[in-house]
């Protein structure tokens, strides 16, 4: 913030010497995806932008560049803002609500437009650039933000890109181990490969001329924040594993490559601002299943002469589910007679917010046992 001086000359000097990027910065993350419309070469392009409410306003429209280097073709299309949603603060951490209406400190803005490409190509790119990144970022030099996604509609003319269920903005806590899931979905069932890559800047030209953001040592694309363990990303699931060690604001850039029959047909990239706070609030999760609530976190199922009891472990850390959270969940069974019943296995499915438990018999799925717990 600029200091207010009583003398006009001093105020003018201060204005001229104060960097403008910290005042104008507002972008806290983004991604671009596309969806085939059913019309040849026509795609609904969707840009999601996350705005820091303490910065300047988000644009009411954006100019998305489409380009192909092999064809030497490019152009821009204006995408209007079709959605504005304040992102509520997670109960896991304490943060000030700076957005209008007192809901959270980040807004999600969605821009959409149908782009009809002139012909098929192997290297179509949809891209966008704007200055400036959030001035609170501590792992990058002051930079702009460039992002893009690609499409090979010679190989896959009806392809839709992967898209993300989880936000491109989140908070984590010092000392807590996190498994950060991107929540990537591909409606075509293509194979996805995840990796950490360089966050990019650009010039705003079309065709684009992106270049790497400058990282502040010791940070890098594969070491984007301070962690007490090596930062890893599962190339098959996109889950990022780390333990934050200091309070900071970092940027993680995740590239998702899309393969069909072993051939690369496109890729999307998301630029994610990561806020590391001193500590998580201690919150005990609650069950959304009435039977679990009434049973103190246990399910009881009967099969002929067998009774099966499944206890649900509620020892979860706020904000992230980790494999060790499920170590205490073990089915117990007892026999009332010697009558033969089924053999059972406990199946566990989890992501960052939801855990489901299922029993399976040797003869197929059984419908007598299903429980859920939000964390």
Residue 284 lies in a domain: no
Residue 109 belongs to domain spanning: 8-277
Q: Any bridge partners for residue 115, and if so which?
A: 43
Q: Are residues 321 and 210 in the same domain?
A: no
Q: Are residues 77 and 183 in the same domain?
A: yes
Residue 1 lies in a domain: no
Residue 23 tokens, joined = 């005042």
Q: Are residues 107 and 182 in the same domain?
A: yes
Q: Are 224 and 252 in contact (CB under 8 A)?
A: yes
Tens of pLDDT, residues 80-116: 999 999 888 777 777 788 888 888 888 999 999 999 9
**Measured distance CA(126)–CA(249) in Å, rounded:** 28
Structural domain count of the chain: 2
Q: Are residues 189 and 131 in the same domain?
A: yes
Spans of the chain, pLDDT less than 70: 1-25, 283-375
Q: Are residues 234 and 311 in the same domain?
A: no
Residue 184 lies in a domain: yes
Q: Are residues 253 and 317 in the same domain?
A: no
Give burial (CB, 10 Å; 0-12/13-18/19+) of 345. exposed
pLDDT at 353: 32
Residue 125 lies in a domain: yes
Helix (H), strand (E) at residue 290: helix 290-294
Tens of pLDDT, residues 308-355: 555 555 555 555 555 544 433 444 444 433 333 333 333 333 333 333
Query: What mean pLDDT, rounded, does the chain reach?
Result: 77
Residue 43 lies in a domain: yes
CA distances from 359 to 287, 298, 306 (A): 18, 14, 13
Residue 2 lies in a domain: no
- Quote the pTM value: 0.75
Q: Are residues 231 and 307 in the same domain?
A: no
Last residue of a domain, one of 254, 277, 300: 277
Q: Are residues 48 and 115 in the same domain?
A: yes
Residue 282 lies in a domain: no
Residue 3 lies in a domain: no
């Amino acid at each position: 913030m600029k200091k207010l001086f009583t003398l006009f000359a001093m105020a003018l000097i201060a204005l001229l010497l104060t960097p403008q990027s910290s005042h104008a910065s507002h972008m806290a993350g983004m991604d671009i995806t596309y969806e085939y419309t059913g019309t040849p070469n026509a795609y609904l392009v969707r840009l999601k932008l996350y705005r820091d409410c303490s910065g300047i306003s988000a644009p009411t429209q954006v100019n998305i560049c489409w380009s192909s280097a092999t064809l030497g073709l490019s152009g821009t299309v204006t995408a209007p803002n079709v959605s504005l949603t304040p992102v509520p603060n997670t109960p896991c951490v304490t943060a000030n609500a700076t957005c209008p209406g007192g809901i959270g400190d980040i807004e999600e803005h969605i821009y959409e437009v149908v782009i009809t490409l002139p012909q098929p190509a192997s290297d179509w790119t949809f891209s966008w650039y704007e200055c400036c990144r959030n001035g609170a970022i501590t792992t990058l030099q002051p930079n702009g933000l460039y992002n893009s996604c690609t499409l090979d509609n010679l190989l896959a003319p009806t392809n839709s890109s992967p898209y993300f269920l989880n936000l491109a903005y989140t908070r984590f806590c010092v000392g807590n181990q996190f498994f950060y899931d991107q929540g990537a979905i591909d409606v075509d069932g293509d194979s996805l490969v995840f990796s950490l890559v360089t966050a990019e800047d650009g010039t705003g030209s079309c065709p684009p001329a992106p270049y790497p953001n400058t990282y502040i040592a010791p940070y890098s694309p594969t070491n984007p924040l301070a962690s007490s363990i090596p930062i890893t990303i599962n190339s098959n699931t996109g889950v990022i594993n780390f333990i934050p060690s200091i309070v900071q604001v970092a940027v993680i850039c995740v590239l998702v490559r899309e393969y069909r029959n072993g051939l690369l047909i496109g890729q999307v990239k998301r630029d994610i601002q990561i806020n590391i706070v001193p500590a998580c609030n201690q919150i005990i999760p609650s069950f959304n299943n009435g039977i679990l609530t009434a049973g103190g976190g246990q399910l009881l199922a009967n099969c002929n002469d067998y009774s099966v009891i499944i206890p649900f472990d509620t020892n979860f850390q706020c904000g992230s589910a980790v494999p060790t959270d499920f170590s205490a969940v073990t089915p117990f069974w007892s026999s009332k007679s010697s009558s033969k019943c089924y053999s059972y296995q406990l199946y566990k499915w989890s992501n960052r917010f939801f855990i489901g438990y299922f029993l399976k018999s040797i003869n197929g799925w059984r419908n007598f046992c299903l429980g859920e717990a939000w964390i």
